[in-house]
Amino acid sequence: MSILSNANMLFSKNKFTKKGSGIQLVLGIIILIAAVWTEIITDIEMLLYALLAVGTILIISSFLILINQYERAIILRLGKYKKQVEPGIHTRIPLADNVLVIDVREKVTEFKAERMLTKDNVPVTIDAILRYKIIEEKASDAYLNVENFNDMIQQVSQTTLRNSIGSSLFQEILSRREEINESIKSKIAVESNNWGIMVTGVEIRQVIIPQELESAMSMQAQAQREKQARVTYGESEVLVAQKFLDASKVYSNNPVAYALRQSNMLYETMKIQGNTVIMVPSETLNSIGFGNLGATIAYLSSLKDGINKSTNESSGPKQE
């Protein structure tokens, strides 16, 4: 039982399935012999017919094998490669033919390279996947030319990935993933073709770097963004200064426009500030045409205060 269990585990690991062992033939012969003894001992016809039918079916089925559409079968006759068969029903010789069925559907396996140094001495861990399938016409090579094609292609993929990391710069790994994927795929395909395996794709899923390096890269990216922001702010200041220069040329040749602009600025300031008292220099009022009005208001206010003061002084002695 342990030998049979180990064999089944080996076939399962290699994606091979064993079909059509001689157990059916032996079991069918035993049932036919039991049917004859039943006829001799019990003389029960119904039991005889049932045993004969079962035995005959088992013996006939032992000469037939059924291959599914997604499978290919390899027949070894007395330990020697005989032929490869396509999907469908085929005949075999029980006890002489060993039928191995292989799944030709596309498969996916994971592989990684841990703590490998790039060309510029940056330690990285890369996780990738490999997609491959058995070439239908070369399914026999996957069994005859390599002991375990699944383990073999995984080891080759891992070695190829490590070599690619060592010959590439860190920035190239981040920015040129597609090119690295194609390079790894082509290198694996050269070796796997001898095993009847076609590589359909390689994809780098994740690039892991040390936490210290990740923090340093984050700080570098932030500094680069701040630099760009300051450059943009400086360029905007230059544009604003140029616009002010153009405006000053217009106002210098047109005092009325300058006065209107000052009036508008004063109005906007008063509108925003609300009830706040704003002290405006007299020179500014003169420049916008309000200087005489301001002087008149100040004179009238001062005159009013003087009259009130005189009235208060004259009424004071009378009351005493």
Domain map (residue ranges) of the chain: 2-103, 107-212, 250-295
What pLDDT shows up at residue 1?
35
What is the rounded distance in angstroms from the CA atom of residue 35 to the CA atom of residue 29? 10
What pLDDT shows up at residue 231?
84
pLDDT, tens digit, 9 for 90 and up, residues 164-209:
888 888 888 888 888 888 888 888 888 888 888 888 888 888 888 7
What pLDDT shows up at residue 214?
66
Residue 120 CB coordination number (10 Å): 10
Architecture label for domain 107-212: 2-Layer Sandwich (3.30)
Tens place of pLDDT for every residue, the chain, 320 residues?
333 333 343 334 455 566 666 787 788 888 888 877 877 777 677 777 788 888 888 888 888 888 888 888 888 888 888 888 888 888 888 888 888 888 888 888 888 887 888 887 888 888 888 888 888 888 888 888 887 888 888 888 888 888 888 888 888 888 888 888 888 888 888 888 888 888 888 888 888 877 776 677 677 777 777 888 888 888 888 888 888 777 777 777 776 666 666 666 666 666 665 555 656 555 555 655 555 555 555 545 655 565 666 666 666 554 44
Residue 31 CB coordination number (10 Å): 19
- Angle among Cα 62, 145, 138 to the nearest 5 degrees reads 70
Residue 149: burial class (beta carbons within 10 Å; 0-12, 13-18, 19+): buried
Dihedral sign for Cα 190, 196, 200, 205, please.
negative
What pLDDT shows up at residue 6?
39
What pLDDT shows up at residue 121?
80
